[in-house]
Every structure is written in C-alpha cells, then in structure tokens.
C-alpha cells in the first residue's frame, strides 16, 4: 500500500500533533530521509507536507507550531511505506 492510495480529504477526523507524539527534527531537514523513522517514509505521509491521520495545525509535543507535517518530522504512529523504505 502506498500513500498515493490514501485520499487527501480533510473532512475526516485527524489526531492533533501533540496526541500523536509528533515533532520536527530540524537537524535532519537536509538528511537522507530514506533511512530512519521520518514522516517522509511513513505510509500516512501525503505529498510534501500533509498526513492522513495527523492535523497540520496546532502545537507539537514541544509546543512548536509550524502549520505543516514536515518530511523530517516523526511521530509515534509511524508506519513504514514499503515503497519508499530500504
């Protein structure tokens, strides 16, 4: 299964960033995101800045608000996208 099969529909309920344990790791922004547990490699990550199950708006676990789901972010709901990870 790929995130391409997950509709980008914002009308269904999503978890908050804080509830999901989401946070952005700025030190990894320019890293190879194909290795590790980053949003980029998660089944639920959609396109460049969205998630199928976590809201873009609101504070993360550290209280930071970015208005996006960053490819270099992580959360406790991470599920590998087998089409991306290696």
Count CB atoms within 10 A of the CB of residue 52: 18
Q: Is the pLDDT of residue 28 over 70?
A: yes
- Please report the pLDDT score of residue 25 as a whole number: 93
Q: What is the pLDDT of residues 36-78, one digit of tens each?
A: 899 999 999 998 999 999 999 999 999 999 999 999 999 999 9
- pLDDT at residue number 9: 58
Give the pLDDT confidence of 11-23 residue by residue, as tens digits: 678 999 999 999 9
In this prediction the pTM is 0.81
Residue 13 burial by Cβ neighbours in a 10 Å radius (0-12, 13-18, 19+):
exposed
Would you state the pLDDT for residue 54?
97
- The string of DSSP codes covering 7-57 is ---TTS--B-HHHHT-EE-GGGTTS-TTSSS-GGGBTTEETTTEESSB-SS
């Amino acid at each position: 299964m790929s995130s391409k099969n997950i509709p980008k529909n914002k009308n269904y309920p999503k978890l908050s960033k804080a509830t999901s344990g989401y946070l952005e790791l700025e030190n990894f922004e320019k890293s190879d995101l194909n290795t590790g547990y980053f949003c980029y490699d998660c089944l639920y990550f959609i396109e460049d800045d969205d998630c199928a199950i976590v809201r873009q708006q609101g504070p993360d676990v550290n209280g930071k608000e970015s208005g996006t789901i960053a490819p270099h972010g992580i959360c406790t709901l991470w599920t590998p996208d087998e089409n991306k990870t290696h």
